[in-house]
Structure 1
C-alpha cells in the first residue's frame, strides 16, 4: 500500500475486464494547485485520469447518490505514507462514518485486501525527515494552504502531513488482490443505531485484516512471484498471457 502504487493495475483491470470505472477517494493534496505540489505529485496524475476525487463527505455523498463504484482506503495518507517497519498495518479512524454514509444509500461494501510485494523500501520516513531542519521546512511549505482532513481526530490518522518518503528500489515482486464477502447495508439500522454502525465497521476492518493476512501467507506459495519467473513465462506463452499464481 506504499504510496498507493497498487492502484494503477487495479483501476486498469476493472476497466478492462468489467468495463467499470472505479472512482477513488484521494488526499486533497493531490488536487492542489500550488507550483510545489504540481511538480512533486505529477506522478499521481493517473489517479485523476481515472476519475479520482478529493476525499470529503460531500464527494462521497455525490458519488454514492449516483450509484458509482467508490474506492476508499479508510487509513488514508497514514497508510500510504507508512513509516519504516509498518508495512501492511491498518490505521483506520475510530469513527465508522464511511459505513454510515454507505448505509444512507443502501450501498454494498466490499472489503478487499492487498498483499503486495512493496517495490521499494522506506529508508527515510516522516519521523526521520522532521528531524532534518531543511527537510522539515520543505514539508511545511509543501503542505501550506492544503485542505486539511481529519483535523478533529487524535492519534495516528489525524493531522498527517503529506510528504515523499525516501525510498530504496527493490526487485519488483507481484501485487496481490483479494475481495471478501460483500457487506449489505440495506435493511440495517446503521443510520439510527450508532452501535450497529460500530459493529459493522469492526466486522469490515476484521475481514480486511484477514484478507491481507491470507495473501501475505499464500504469496509464499506463488511459483511466479518473482518478476524474472513471470517474464520467462510470458516469453514462452505470450506477453498478453495471464501468469498463474498460487492455488487458493
Structure 2
C-alpha cells in the first residue's frame, strides 16, 4: 500500500463510534473536570468549518471532551488533524484513530474538506503540547500558515475554539530547556534518530506534577468557548499570497486569544467549584 492510499484510508473508511461508547469512555474525565461550554451556537452542523484551537500540556485531556460535546449536542463527528508525534504514542494513537483523527497533512485535510467534514486543528502542534515553564495557554505557532492555506483554498470558515483548565492541572517541574542544558541531553541529541524524532529537542515533553508529586492531574474545571466564524471568502483565490495568509493567521490568533480571555473571566466568576475541588486545585 503506497503512502497516498494510506493517507486515504482513515478519511474514506472511518465509521464513528456510537455516542454511548464515547460517553462511557469519557465518564470519568467528564465528572473529574466538569467541562463547561459556551458559544455552541457558532457551530452549524450543516456548514462545515475548520475549528482552530490552543493545544494544552500533553494534548490528551481536553480533546476527548470537546469531541463528545459536539457529537452529543450537534451531531458533529469532529475529525482532528493530529501532530505525527501523537500517532507514535502506544494506546493513545489507537484512541485517536478510533475517534477519526488523522495525521495532520495537507493531503488528509484536503480530503476531509472535500468530504464536507468538520475539522479540528491545533496550529501549535507538538511544540505547543511540549510546554515550557511559563507557557500556560501560550500560542506557539511558529511560522505555520498551512491551516490558513487550506481554509482559503477550500473556502472553509474558521471557528476559534479556546480551551482553559488543562494547563492549570499540572505544574512543569523540568522542561526541554532544562534537559537540553545537561551533558546527557547534548550527548543523546547527537543521535540523528533521536534528534529527528524530537525535532532537535523541540518536542521533548516536560516532566510535570499534578496532585502532590504525582502525575495525576488536579481536578481543574475545563472551560471551552467557540468564537464567531471567520469568513474566508474575502481571501478567495489568495491561498498562495503569503501576506494574506499571515493576515488571516493573525486574525485567527487574535480571535482565539479573545476567547481565552472570556474563559478566564468566566472562571473567575464561577462559584460552583466545590470544596474538594478547591482543596485539590489552586482555586481560592
Q: TM-score, normalised by structure 2?
A: 0.66
The aligned counterpart of 2:86 is 30
Matching residue of 1:240: none
Residues 145/129 of structure 1: CA separation in 2 closer, same or farther (3 Å cut)? closer
Question: Deviations for 1:79-115, whole angstroms, at most 9, x for unmatched residues?
Answer: 1111011101111133432112111111111012112
**Any idea what the Cα deviations from partners look like across 1:174-214, whole Å, max 9, x if unmatched?**
11110111012235333364433322221111001111122
- CA–CA distance in 2 between the matches of 1:48 and 1:139? 30
Alignment of 1:182-221 (within 5 A): 182-186=229-233, 188-189=235-236, 190-191=238-239, 193-221=241-269
Task: State the secondary structure of the residue aligned to 1:206.
Answer: helix
Checking the alignment, whether the CA contact within 8 Å between 2:195 and 2:201 is kept in structure 1 is no
1:24–1:52 CA contact under 8 A, matched in 2: yes
Q: Greater RCO between the two (CA within 8 Å, min separation 6)?
A: 2
- Counterpart Cα distance in 2 of 1:137 and 1:66: 47
Query: 1:107 aligns to what?
Result: 156
- Structure 1: tracts of 5 or more residues without a match: 149-157, 231-248
> Are 1:126 and 2:176 matched, yes or no?
yes
The correspondence for 2:74, drawn from 18, 26, 29, is 18
Distance 1:174 1:119 in 2: 9
CA contact (8 A) 1:8 1:46 kept: no
| Equivalent-residue separation in structure 2 for 1:16 and 1:227 (angstroms) | 29
User: Within the alignment, does 1:75 sit opposite 2:124 as a pair?
Assistant: yes
Aligned pair 1:165/2:176, yes or no?
A: no
Q: Kindly tell me: are residues 52 and 223 of structure 1, through their superposed partners in 2, closer, same or farther at Cα, counting changes over 3 Å?
A: same
Residue 56 of structure 1: aligned partner: 105
**Which runs of 5 or more residues in structure 2 are unaligned?**
1-55, 212-217, 279-284
**Residues 122 and 201 from structure 1, CA distance in 2 versus in 1: closer, same or farther, beyond 3 angstroms?**
same
Give, in whole Å, the separation in 1 of the partners of 2:70 and 2:207.
31
Q: CA deviation at 1:71?
A: 0.6
Whole-angstrom CA distance in 1 between matches of 2:177 and 2:261: 27
Report the CA distance shift for 1:14/1:137 in structure 2 as closer, same or farther (over 3 A).
Answer: farther
- Note if contact 2:87-2:93 (Cα within 8 Å) is conserved in structure 1: no
Please state how far the C-alpha of 1:43 moved relative to its aligned partner: 4.0
1:91 equivalent in structure 2: 140
Higher mean Cα deviation, 185-194 or 62-71?
185-194
